[in-house]
Chains A and B, each alone.
Chain A
Amino acid sequence: MGVRLTVKMINLDPRAKIVIVLCLSTLAVFFNTPGSLLIVLIITLLLLQIFQVKYISLIYKFRRLLPVLLVLLFVQSAFTGHGQVLIAFGDVHILTTGGVSSAGCVLLRMLILFGSAMIIATSNSRDYVLALVQLKIPYEIAFMVLIALRFLPIFIQEANDTLIAMQLRGVDIKKVAWGKKIKYFTYIFSPLVSNVLIKANQLAISMEARGFRVYPRRTYLRVLKYNLLDYLITILSLSLTLAVLTLSIVR
């Protein structure tokens, strides 16, 4: 039963997945209390579990965000001044319950946004182009989105390789002063921009050589079909989100 549900959910139409992600993101942006955001996060994690996405590594990666959250915690406590004061230095509030709540909200919100975005990764990027085209978005724009998604990991890898090459030629990046570090980062940036332009040019030539935009219309090897489960999920997601938002506003 569980396996069948997982298979059905993974095979959902990409448009239905986009709706789920939009609903979760809307709720994450709308809610402003740790309690309500925690409920949205639990729903997101349950969905990730159903979609068989390994989300533990995502949570683990968020440890890098902890210094930023700590800064936020003290900034919010010192400047917004709401909530009960937990630690104070003279008249300056070092830590308040309001600050703790704000920092918690930022963490939960980011977890929901990144977690919900992981649902997108359960479909082939090619299917999202079809989904966008069937949502009447021009093919050129949809294709650009696909290309950006496809090339992003390659560019990250290239930047990483350049950084390694630099270190192997004597740069100890951890010991370098900030001024020099910025200079070295420009060294990573310039080949990356150049490579993007070269690849874009090569891709454009290759696409035109294969008849891209020769005719105003194009046919597709596969056409996405919205089935009953897709309709159900879409209606359920939208109606639940609208109901929760309406209730929150009315209250």
Chain B
Amino acid sequence: MAFMELLQVSFSYRGQKQLLNDINFSIHNEGITALTGPNGIGKTTLSKLMVGMLVPTTGHITLKGQDISGMTLAQIGRLVGYVFQNPEKQLFCPTVSEEISFGLQNLELPEHDVQRLVKENLPYFELEHLAQSFPLQLSEGEKRRLAIAAVLVLEPELLVLDEPTTGLDAYRKHLLGECLKKIVASERGVFMISHDNNFINRYASRILILENGRLKEHGC
């Protein structure tokens, strides 16, 4: 059984023409799937549908066989981690440390485990020196690293990343790529939206292209 399945999914924003048309695909919680396509074609919309932020006009989406329309965002968030295109949107805690620990506390982990995971993740994303800083005052690259760290620490089975390489320098792109490889090695999947062809070609095991509201597999 596929981890996530989109069946005949179509979507249009109210009063606008159809953006996504009869999308069918499935994702297993393994490997890195990349979604690419021109600007404004509906890639971010598709990712928002996948995490339940938007509801399809027609069709349905299942997560581990269960229709996500019957699940709360918190339930979906336990299985699927989502990093927004604009990381600022998901940073709301007063400090970088609290930002990383927020989700862990919601999982009701013991305090020492939360502390340990925060301490492990801060240096990995080179945020150790910023542990007590206000997240919205960080640079763009730092905000993105923090947003990814805050979601990754929850160890979701599928990680959805919207334009994760924007604002990252070559070294940090490499770090991100290596991190994604580690996620995949731990039997979890990654779905990323990106225009960064070099990054996609280097790390993605499957490439999907969105064109004129329809999805096609690279090479098909």
| A positions within 8 Å CB-CB of B | 158, 161-162, 164-174, 187-188, 190-191, 194-195, 198
Q: A174 touches which one: B72, B134, B136 (CB < 8 A)?
A: B72
Known pairs A161-B84, A174-B72, A198-B136; A168 contacts B92 (CB<8 A): no
Check A164 against B92 for contact (C-beta < 8 Å).
no
Cα distance, A191 to B90, chains bound together (Å) = 10
Give the residues from 52 to 102 in chain B that come closer than 8 angstroms, CB to CB, to chain A.
53, 72-78, 80-82, 84, 88-94, 102
Cα distance, A172 to B73, chains bound together (Å) = 7
Q: Which 10 A-B pairs have the closest CB atoms?
A: A170-B106, A167-B73, A165-B90, A168-B77, A169-B103, A172-B74, A161-B89, A187-B92, A191-B92, A194-B136
Answer whether residue B20 sits at the interface, using C-beta atoms and an 8 A cutoff. Answer: no
Check B73 against A168 for contact (C-beta < 8 Å).
yes
Answer whether residue B154 sits at the interface, using C-beta atoms and an 8 A cutoff. Answer: yes
Check B88 against A166 for contact (C-beta < 8 Å).
no
Number of interface residues of B (CB under 8 A): 29
Chain B hits for A174, CB < 8 A: 72
Residue of B nearest to A189 (CB): B92
Residue of B nearest to A191 (CB): B92
Chain A hits for B103, CB < 8 A: 169-170
Check B91 against A170 for contact (C-beta < 8 Å).
no
Check A162 against B90 for contact (C-beta < 8 Å).
yes
Residue of A nearest to B107 (CB): A170
Answer whether residue B149 sits at the interface, using C-beta atoms and an 8 A cutoff. Answer: no
Check B91 against A191 for contact (C-beta < 8 Å).
yes
Check A170 against B154 for contact (C-beta < 8 Å).
yes
Chain A hits for B204, CB < 8 A: none
Chain A hits for B73, CB < 8 A: 164, 167-168
Answer whether residue B193 sits at the interface, using C-beta atoms and an 8 A cutoff. Answer: no
**Nearest-Cβ distance from residue B177 to partner chain A, whole angstroms:** 24
Q: B90 touches which one: A161, A170, A195 (CB < 8 A)?
A: A161
29 A–B contacts, CB within 8 A, in A order: A164-B53, A164-B73, A165-B82, A165-B89, A165-B92, A167-B74, A167-B77, A168-B73, A168-B74, A168-B76, A168-B80, A168-B81, A168-B82, A169-B90, A169-B150, A169-B151, A169-B154, A170-B74, A170-B106, A170-B107, A170-B154, A171-B106, A172-B74, A173-B74, A187-B92, A188-B92, A194-B134, A195-B88, A198-B136
Known pairs A190-B92, A191-B91, A198-B136; A168 contacts B51 (CB<8 A): yes
**Nearest-Cβ distance from residue B214 to partner chain A, whole angstroms:** 27
Chain A hits for B154, CB < 8 A: 169-170
Residue of A nearest to B156 (CB): A168
Known pairs A161-B89, A165-B84, A187-B93; A170 contacts B77 (CB<8 A): yes
Among B78, B81, B103, find the residue whose CB has the most chain A CB atoms closer than 10 A. Answer: B103
Given A171-B106, A173-B74: 11 more A-B contacts, CB < 8 Å: A164-B73, A165-B90, A167-B74, A168-B77, A169-B77, A169-B90, A169-B151, A170-B78, A171-B74, A172-B72, A190-B92
Check B53 against A162 for contact (C-beta < 8 Å).
no
Check A166 against B136 for contact (C-beta < 8 Å).
no
Cα distance, A174 to B74, chains bound together (Å) = 10
Cα distance, A167 to B82, chains bound together (Å) = 11
Known pairs A165-B90, A169-B154, A170-B77; A191 contacts B136 (CB<8 A): yes
Among B53, B73, B82, B154, find the residue whose CB has the most chain A CB atoms closer than 10 A. Answer: B73
Cα distance, A198 to B150, chains bound together (Å) = 23
Residue of B nearest to A170 (CB): B106
Cα distance, A172 to B51, chains bound together (Å) = 15
Chain A hits for B76, CB < 8 A: 168
Residue of B nearest to A197 (CB): B136
**Nearest-Cβ distance from residue B149 to partner chain A, whole angstroms:** 12
Chain B hits for A171, CB < 8 A: 74, 106
Give the residues from 81 to 139 in chain B that come closer than 8 angstroms, CB to CB, to chain A.
81-82, 84, 88-94, 102-103, 106-107, 134, 136
Cα distance, A162 to B80, chains bound together (Å) = 17
Q: B92 touches which one: A162, A170, A173, A198 (CB < 8 A)?
A: A162
Cα distance, A161 to B84, chains bound together (Å) = 9
Chain A hits for B91, CB < 8 A: 191
Chain A hits for B81, CB < 8 A: 168
Check B136 against A195 for contact (C-beta < 8 Å).
yes
Cα distance, A188 to B93, chains bound together (Å) = 9
Chain B hits for A162, CB < 8 A: 89-90, 92
